[in-house]
Amino acid sequence: MAMEGGMKCVKFLLYVLLLAFCACAVGLIVVGVAVQLVLNQTITHGATPGTLLPVVIIVVGAFLFLVAFVGCCGACKENYCLMMTFAIFLTLIMLVEVAVAIAGYVFKDKVKTEFNKNFQQQMQNYPKNNGTASLLDKMQEEFNCCGAANYTDWENIPGMGKDRVPDSCCINVTAHCGTDFDLHAINTQGCVEKIGIWLRKNVLLVAAAALGIAFVEVLGIVFACCLVKSIRSGYEVM
């Protein structure tokens, strides 16, 4: 009876963890989609290891959701095969997440280089493409930046010149504020560095979330193995 009561407690905790897995899966999908949208807007020339990372995150999130469903069915029916499948797949997901984290660290400089190159290329299309202009204006306003490296990047853009930057570079954005601008009235720092600073500030939050997900997954594997052992013992008794 004590063993049966212990397994009921394990099953209950496993159900709680499965709910947490579903939440983590949705979170991974949302993060992956958000990062993919940002990269699609800023890196437009083909797939690279850096740009494939959000796709991997989305796939892992979707797979985690499916695995959580398998685990729920296995725990509810106390099915040995389903619980073994759940434990094995959850272990594989953990390994993939570790690989993604390592790849993200390895390719972080490459992503920054690609972002810088593509930002400058899109600056060339600023006077000719309204969609590109809207995108760059939005980024410059949100991050209080101007140009890729700094505001002087706009000097080489056709139709701009030394005495003109987009109005979105202004500290207080008004019509034509970027024409014959006062240096003290515009944001002089480049967007590549500003966005890099923003990412570094948020990387600790991402790391903490990743550690939390990993901890929950380890608990899930442990509880699944305990339930598998209990189910197997039940089969042997019969």
Say whether pLDDT at 61 is over 90: no
H helices within 173-190, ranges in order?
A: none
Sequence letter at residue 32 = G
pLDDT level of residue 127 (50, 70, 90 thresholds): confident
The secondary structure of 96-108 as a DSSP string is HHHHHHHHHHHTH
pLDDT digits (tens, 9 = 90+) for 152-195: 999 888 877 778 899 999 999 998 898 888 889 999 999 988 88
> What local confidence, expressed as pLDDT, does residue 60 receive?
81
> How far apart, in whole angstroms, are the C-alpha atoms of residue 210 and residue 94?
10
Say whether pLDDT at 221 is over 80: yes
- Sorted by sequence, the CB contacts under 8 Å of residue 98 that are 6+ apart come out as none
Cβ atoms within 10 Å, residue 185:
13
Q: Give SS3 for 47.
A: coil
> What local confidence, expressed as pLDDT, does residue 195 receive?
82
pTM for the structure as a whole:
0.58
Cβ atoms within 10 Å, residue 182:
9
> What local confidence, expressed as pLDDT, does residue 2 receive?
40
Mean confidence (pLDDT) of the chain: 80
Cβ atoms within 10 Å, residue 211:
10
